[in-house]
Amino acid sequence: MSEMSNSNFSKTTSIQQAIASCCGAMITSLFVTPLDVVKTRLQAQTNPFTKGKCFVYSSGLMDHICVCESGDSKGWYKKNGHFKGTLDAFVKIIKIEGIKSLWSGLPPTLIMALPTAVIYFTCYDQLSEALKSRLGKDNDHIPIVAGSLSRFGSVTVVSPLELIRTRMQYRKLSYKQLHMCISSKVARDGWLSLWRGWSSTVLRDVPFSAMYWYNYERFKKMMCKNLGAHEPTFFIAFTSGAASGSIAAVITLPFDVVKTHKQTELWESETLKIPQSASTWAVMRKIVAKNGIAGLFAGIGPRLFKVAPACAIMISTYEYGKSFFSHLNEKPNQHP
């Protein structure tokens, strides 16, 4: 496998970085979507979703709210199954419904994951380079600051899109009806109402991003040194991404649990008029009172099972894409 320069930023344009992040997001979604399709089907088997009920679907790159409808449509989350476990579910879904069914959650993932990945990774590279010129290349604070700011920006930009997408999914609105619906909501509650649920997302994603990039850069340097590599290989990027993603996922899990509660409550209050909890901290207190501290770390296995490979595939594909473009850019300048 070819090696990937740590200074790829100076050799690639922002458009090329955007293309690399898009490719990374698509490949990651292709690998991780089947895991969540199976997990959601197993969840639906033990706890059937009722009409109007919300659940969170996650690709490892980002989360989506899905709203259950009535009727016999082909929604992958509504099909009944008799699965004994994860492997049994994989085998039966492929045998009975065909292999395509494992990727039936892919379109909503890509619609939101692509713009998120482009903003997030391109901003991280741009900010890192700007900070390096001011603070020096080896400053340990650069990945923390660049990771936090880039995630904050991507969450803020995409948050209203997620709200609009979910509303379209629930009510099957035309674009004209959607425009009227959003306009009346803004007129009634103000522009900030489009960012409802933003705070709980930021509380989880910004600390995750800060820890992820800090550990990723450290692991990458350490592995290069131990393996005697001048530049990080695909394997180094993959391993560093998996390790740093796992650490960040475990530490931020309480915020992930709270965010899931807040997201489903938000959409149930929007669509079913069920009152929601006052704040993130109120939800956290409610979970601790009901299930103890352990309740804040519920689902640690499935989260690691999804986040670790998603982080590894995304970062290694992105780095490899930048490496490809940097070598491509060098070719016209090489002399025979």
Q: Which amino acid is at 195?
A: W
Residue 305 lies in a domain: yes
Residue 75 lies in a domain: no
CATH number, domain at 291?
Answer: 1.50.40.10
| Type and span of the H or E element at 24 | helix 14-46
Residue 101 lies in a domain: yes
56 φ, ψ (degrees, to nearest 5): -95, 125
Separation in Å, CA 126 to CA 17, 114, 142, 149, 315:
10, 18, 11, 11, 16
Burial class (CB in 10 A: 0-12, 13-18, 19+), 262: buried
DSSP string covering 25-90 = HHHHHHHHHHHHHHHHHHHHHHSPPPTT-EEEEE-SS-EEEEE--SSS---TTT-----SSHHHHH
Residue 2 lies in a domain: no
Closest residue by Cα to residue 146 from 135, 157, 159: 135
State CA 162 to chain mean position distance: 12
Q: 64 forms bridges with which residues in the sheet?
A: 57
Residue 328 lies in a domain: no
For the entire predicted model, the pTM comes to 0.79
259 and 233 Cβ atoms separated by less than 8 Å = no
The token duo for 209 is: 């991003």
Q: What is the pLDDT of residue 240?
A: 96
Distance CA 277, CA 268 (A): 11
Distance CA 320, CA 336 (A): 26
Distance CA 247, CA 317 (A): 20
Query: Total domain count for the chain?
Result: 1
Give residue 33's domain range: 14-65+82-323
Residue 318 lies in a domain: yes
Residue 103 lies in a domain: yes
Distance CA 266, CA 283 (A): 12
Residue 174 lies in a domain: yes
- Sequential pLDDT tens for the chain (336 residues): 444 544 444 478 889 999 999 999 999 988 888 877 777 677 666 556 566 565 565 555 566 666 665 544 445 455 556 788 778 888 888 888 888 888 876 776 787 788 889 999 999 999 999 999 998 887 889 999 999 999 999 989 888 877 676 666 555 566 777 778 778 878 887 888 778 778 878 888 899 999 999 999 999 999 999 988 877 889 999 999 999 999 999 998 888 777 777 666 655 565 555 555 557 777 778 878 887 877 777 777 777 888 899 999 999 999 999 988 988 887 655 544
